[in-house]
Amino acid sequence: MNIHEYQAKEIFRKYDVPVPRGQLALSVEEAVEAARALGGDVWVVKAQIHAGGRGLGGGVKLAKSIEEVREHASAILGMTLVTHQTGPEGKLVQKIYIEEGADIKDELYLGVVLDRAKEMPVIMASTEGGMEIEKVAEETPEKIVKVAVDPAIGFQGFHGRELVFGLGITDKAEQRKFIDFASKLYRLYLENDAELIEINPLIKTGSGDFLALDGKMGFDDSALYRHPDIEAMRDISEEDPDEREAGKYNLSYVALDGEIGCMVNGAGLAMGTMDTINYMGGTPANFLDVGGTANAETVAKGFEIILKNPKVKAIFVNIFGGIVRCDRIANGILEATKMVDVNVPVVVRLDGTNAAEAAEILKNANISNVISASDLADGAKKAVAAAKGEL
Amino acid sequence: MSILVNSETKVIVQGFTGKEGTFHAEQCLAYGTKIVGGVTPNKGGQEHLGKPVFNTVKEAVASTGATVSMIFVPPAFVADAVMEAADAGIELAVIITEGAPVRDMQAAKAYAVKHGMMTIGPNCPGIITAEECKIGIMPGNIFKKGNVGLISKSGTLTYEGANQVCNEGFGITTAVGIGGDPIIGLSYKQLLPMFEADPETEAIVMIGEIGGDLEIQAAEFIKQNITKPVVAFIAGQTAPKGKRMGHAGAIVSGSAGTAKEKMDALEKAGVKVVVSPAEIGKAVKEVLSK
């Protein structure tokens, strides 16, 4: 689960990680009030969406008067912001964050993420703040300092020294401030079961203080049960409605661009099915894992979600029964065709536990648009042909 | 022969009397697995599926001599269960549970390693030595005894791969589902040398997916150490970047962890890489008839 910048900064504040003062606004009037309450003579108006690259897309603007705050707020609120992370359709801006202006001397990068190879969180820091970190990693990897910190010992002095010397911070007061910043960030990463924290940029002010000018956080979904405060930060308007609907039924769904809807048990086989369709000259319309609890209701829901996509010309149901018994899936498919108007050909491949019973059930049902397949290759081939109208 | 488990392996079940634990322990017993008991706190002294129930893993090990534990406890309690098993001297914990927090598994695995306990999973189908011992949730009937070892991050692709291998007239020595979480126990790099050393295994199938770099590590290891033919499939060639594909660990972050880079690395290591899981059986036949 991801949260907004203003929410990440709330968490930062709780841990005394320095951030500029700011306020959330849902309307132009609230934005103006927020700017007045903050005082000063420079403000930043920032679109709150779950995507990076907001500045380049016109979602972050500097205001030097209350009038400018009003202008920028009315331009940004309600705009559809397109960045390299939103996709071409962009995202509607419904919330803005008004922040006091900062005296920027240097821009750095600081993040914490799980290092899967080392099996512990790694703190990443760079002097190249404000740039896309993936780009820095590709072009000038020597400019990224990585320090893995074993949770069993926690953030030690040497971790901090590796960071500041790696970044070339020589002033002792600045070293102390940066180490303090990083150690607090590490602690909040662990204590909140974060999956990712990114501060880009982290700035050094004219007076040598470090401030989180931006804040991005993602969390381990499996651990949300023990963080009700974070779960409460969920913004459902930022989530794909179909993925969300699927999740309610324990289905895992990701929309793609193609024409063949896929319903598969198991994430690996679901990806393998997409790959096979592609290999056979077709295009997958989605990833859909019906998981281990598939029944008539979940299968019907799967059909419903797949068929919402008008591009779908055929559906490939590919089930290798393990925990999910094939006869149960077969009955589910039949019932689902009664619950949902399935108006495209459905190629069904059922294998594994109770496959013979399942084949019998499907055959006896005698439904015209249900085509049975003998194995994965046969099923993919038939689905590709069906989508082209050749079956 | 086989790796890790066989008809002699004594197994206990943590989360024995729960719904999942009961259902699958029953299936494992029917397959012939030597399940010698189980653990459910406050149910010690009872009998379940004809086997004794213990309050703690320590008691279960002392009384039964079990060396392997199959874990079905709910996600919030997985780390506790794994550490209890390590502390009690269990040699291998097979963690079936899906949805354990990453931070918990990080700590549990570090503790297991410290105590010399191997782990498989979490979020995996388990391990099976064909026609001898099934510790997990896979449909046992598709695994015919044979000469091919199998390692897979995905449950259903394990079944798909094994089924194809058997349909080509070969069979399986041992199949290990290692799971698709960001932090897992035994991986390709630890399992490949076991299959290399197993005299009955003549070829190895490895099934990977997008996310992380375990397959890249495996490729480097194969180049240096593995002489038996390896067939590989990497799921997710058509997966979009930045989207989590079902498994917690199946995500391409930035430009790292793509199917293509893994397939290229494996190919360079001399592995027979197939572009569709439908080709696994045929590829095994090809490498074994060389």
Residue type, A228: P
- Which pLDDT belongs to residue A2? 94
Domain annotation covers residue B38? yes
Same domain for B279 and B189? yes
- A2 against A130, higher pLDDT: A2
**One domain for residues A222 and A268:** no
B1 inside domain: no
Specify the CATH number for the domain of residue A141.
Answer: 3.30.470.20
For B200-241, write each residue's pLDDT tens digit. Answer: 999 999 999 999 999 999 999 999 999 999 999 999 999 988
CA-based nearest residue in chain B for residue A118 = B183
User: pLDDT tier at A249 (50, 70, 90 boundaries)?
Assistant: confident
Residue A65: CB atoms within 10 A of its CB come to: 12
Give the percent of chain B with pLDDT over 90.
92
Q: Which residues contact A198 (CB under 8 A, 6 or more apart)?
A: A109, A110, A111, A133, A214, A215, A216, A217
- From B56, B90, B120, the end of a domain falls on B120
Last residue of a domain, one of B92, B120, B148: B120
Q: What is the pLDDT of residue A339?
A: 85
Q: For chain A, what is the domain count?
A: 3
Q: What is the rounded average pLDDT of the residues B170-195?
A: 97
Same structural domain, A89 and A232:
no
CATH number of the structural domain spanning residue A324: 3.40.50.261
> How buried is B53 (Cβ within 10 angstroms: 0-12 exposed, 13-18 middle, 19+ buried)?
buried
CB of B155 less than 8 A from some CB of A? yes
In this predicted structure, what is the pLDDT of residue A363? Answer: 84
Residue A53 has pLDDT above 90, yes or no: no
Residues 167-186 (B) with a CB less than 8 A from some CB of A: 180, 182-183
> Rounded to a whole number, what is the distance in Å from the CA of A152 to chain B's nearest CA?
8
> Does the distance separating the beta carbons of A195 and B139 come in below 8 Å?
no
Residue B154 shares a structural domain with residue B222:
yes
As a whole number, mean pLDDT of residues A359-370 equals 85
Q: Are residues A11 and A25 in the same domain?
A: no
Percentage above 70 pLDDT, chain B: 99
Q: What is the pLDDT of residues B110-143, one digit of tens each?
A: 999 999 999 999 999 999 999 999 999 998 989 9
**C-alpha of B219 from chain center:** 19
Instruction: Please give the helix or strand (H or E) that residue A351 lies within, else none.
Output: strand A346-352
Q: Does B77 touch chain A (CB under 8 A)?
A: no
- A97 plus A107 within the same structural domain: no
Q: Is the pLDDT of residue A296 over 80?
A: no
Mean pLDDT throughout B57-86? 98
Six-digit token string for A257: 């661009």
Residue-wise pLDDT for A236-248, tens only, equals 989 888 888 888 8
pLDDT tens for each residue of A97-109: 999 999 999 999 9
pLDDT band at A332 (very low <50, low <70, confident <90, very high): confident
Q: Is A198 a catalytic residue?
A: yes
B250 interaction partners in chain A (CB closer than 8 Å): 267-268, 271
Domain count for chain B, please give it: 2
Query: What is the band of A130 on the pLDDT scale with cuts at 50, 70, 90?
Result: confident
For residue A134, which residues of chain B lie inside 8 Å, CB to CB?
Answer: 254-255
Q: Residue A274's closest chain B neighbor by CA?
A: B238
Find the CB nearest A268 among B99, B156, B244: B156
- pLDDT of residue A52 exceeding 90: no
How far apart are the CA of B137 and the nearest CA of chain A, in angstroms?
7
ipTM of the complex: 0.93
Instruction: Report, as an integer, the average pLDDT of B74-92.
Output: 98
The DSSP secondary structure of A310-350, one letter per residue, reads TT--EEEEEEEESSS-HHHHHHHHHHHHHHS---S-EEEEE
In this structure, the answer to whether residues B90 and B149 fall within a common structural domain is: no
pLDDT value at A292 more than 70: no
Q: Is there a single domain that holds both residue A10 and residue A155? A: yes
Q: Look up residue A104 and give its two tokens.
A: 């920027």
Contact A96, A47 (CB under 8 A): yes
Residue holding tokens 């502390």?
B87
Question: Is pLDDT above 70 for B23?
Answer: yes
Residues A375 and A297 in one domain: yes
Binary contact (B213, A116; C-beta < 8 A): yes
Which residues lie across from A315 on neighbouring strands? A261, A346
- B247 an active-site residue? yes
What single string gives the DSSP state of each residue in A63-115?
Answer: ESSHHHHHHHHHHHTT-EE--TTT-TT-EE---EEEEE---EEEEEEEEEEEE
Instruction: Identify all chain B residues contacting A269, using CB atoms and an 8 Å cutoff.
Output: 154, 156-157, 160, 235, 277
Same domain membership, residue B209 and residue B181: yes
Averaged over B62-77, what is the pLDDT? 97
Is pLDDT of A145 > 70? Answer: yes
Instruction: Sort out which chain A residues have CB atoms less than 8 A from B276's CB and list them.
Output: 272, 275-276, 279-280, 376-377, 380
Residue A356 has pLDDT above 90, yes or no: no
Domain extent, residue A36, equals: 21-101
Provide the CATH number for the domain around residue B97: 3.40.50.720
More confident residue, B251 or B116: B116
The Cα–Cα gap between B48 and B18 comes to 11
Contact A250, A21 (CB under 8 A): no
Best B77, B238, B258, B273 member to test A by mutation, with max A CBs in 10 Å, is B238
Statement to judge: residues B142 and B283 lie in one domain: yes
With H, G, I as helix, E, B as strand and everything else as coil, classify residue B163: helix
- Given A269, A289, A352, which is nearest B142 (Cβ)? A352
- A276, A302: one domain: yes
Assess B236–A contact: CB distance below 8 Å, yes or no.
yes
Phi-psi bin for A227: left (phi > 0), alpha (psi -120 to 50), beta? beta
Residue B183 is assigned to a structural domain of this protein: yes
| pLDDT confidence of residue A290 | 87
Asked if residue B67 lies in contact with residue B91, where contact means CB atoms within 8 angstroms, the answer is: yes
Name every residue whose Cβ is closer than 8 Å to that of residue B171 and which is 6 or more positions away in sequence: B130, B143, B144, B145, B146, B147, B148, B165
**The pLDDT of residue A331:** 85
Is B114 domain-assigned? Answer: yes
Respond yes or no on whether the N-terminal peptide bond of residue A201 is cis (omega within 30° of 0). Answer: yes
Residue of A nearest to B74 (CA): A222
Residues A37 and A13 in one domain: no
Whole-number pLDDT of residue A340: 86
Mutate to test the interface with B, among A244, A269, A319, A382 (most CBs of B within 10 A): A269
Same domain, A293 and A154: no
For residue A194, pLDDT beyond 90: yes
Q: Mark yes or no for CB contact B152/A268 under 8 Å.
A: yes
8 Å CB contact of B246 and A265? no
Give the CATH number of the domain where residue A73 resides: 3.30.1490.20
Judged by CB atoms closer than 8 Å, whether chains meet at B235 and A377 is answered as no
Q: Rounded to a whole number, what is the largest CA-CA distance in chain B?
A: 57
Give CA–CA dist B128/B143, Å, rounded. Answer: 8
Q: What pLDDT, on a 0 to 100 scale, did the predictor assign at position A322?
A: 72
Same domain, B97 and B152: no
* B277 in the same domain as B144: yes
Domain extent at residue B17: 10-120
Min Cα distance A19 → chain B (Å) is: 27
Interval B82-99 mean pLDDT:
97
Same domain for A287 and A335, yes or no, is yes
Q: How far apart are CA B178 and CA B151, in angstroms?
A: 7
Q: Spell out which residues of chain B touch residue A223, defining contact as CB-CB under 8 Å.
A: 101-104
Contacts of B159 in chain A (CB under 8 A): 320, 322, 351-352
**Chain B residue with the nearest C-alpha to that of A290:** B246
pLDDT at A324 over 90: no
Nearest by CB: B250 against A117, A267, A353: A267
A46: helix, strand or coil: strand
Of all residues in chain B, the one with the smallest CA distance to A224 is: B101
The predicted pLDDT at position A85 comes to: 83
Q: What is the reported pTM?
A: 0.93
Angle at B18 between CA B15 and CA B20, to 5 degrees: 90
The residues in A 73-112 lying below 8 A from B, measured between CB atoms, are 85
From B89, B120, B151, the end of a domain falls on: B120
Q: Kindly identify which residue of chain B lies nearest to residue A264, measuring between CA atoms.
A: B156
Residues B245 and B143 grouped into a single domain: yes
Residues from chain A that touch B240, judged by Cβ atoms under 8 A, are: 254, 256
Please tell me whether residues B156 and B114 are part of one structural domain.
no
Q: How confident is the model at residue B248 (pLDDT cuts 50, 70, 90)?
A: confident
> Is residue B19 predicted with pLDDT exceeding 80?
yes
**Cβ within 8 Å, pair B103-A220:** yes
The reply to whether residue A222 touches residue B75, judged by beta carbons under 8 angstroms, is: yes
Confidence check: pLDDT of A334 > 90: no
Enumerate residues 6+ apart whose C-beta is below 8 A from B193.
B221, B225, B226
CA-nearest of B216, B229, B227 to B189 is: B216
Q: Is the predicted pLDDT of residue A51 greater than 80, yes or no?
A: yes
| Mean per-residue pLDDT, B65-78 | 97
- The CA distance from B63 to the nearest CA of chain A, in Å, is 31
Is B22 in CB contact (< 8 Å) with chain A?
no
- Return the higher-pLDDT residue of B66 and A351: B66
Q: Is B79 on the interface with A (CB under 8 A)?
A: no
Residue after which a domain boundary falls, among A49, A68, A101: A101
The answer to whether A172 faces chain B, any CB pair under 8 Å, is no
Nearest to A262 by CA among A325, A203, A317: A317
Other C-beta atoms lying within 10 Å of the C-beta of residue A8:
25
Radius of gyration of chain B (CA): 18
Q: Do A342 and A205 lie in a common domain?
A: no
Catalytic-role residue among A195, A198, A259, A304: A198
Residues B240 and B282 in one domain: yes
Do B94 and B143 fall into the same domain?
no
Helices (H) and strands (E) in chain A, counts: 13, 18
Residue B264 resides in a domain: yes
B178 and B114, same domain (yes or no): no
pLDDT band, residue A87 (cuts 50/70/90):
confident
Nearest Cβ partner for B100 among A195, A222, A256: A222
Verify that A179 and A57 share a domain, yes or no. Answer: no
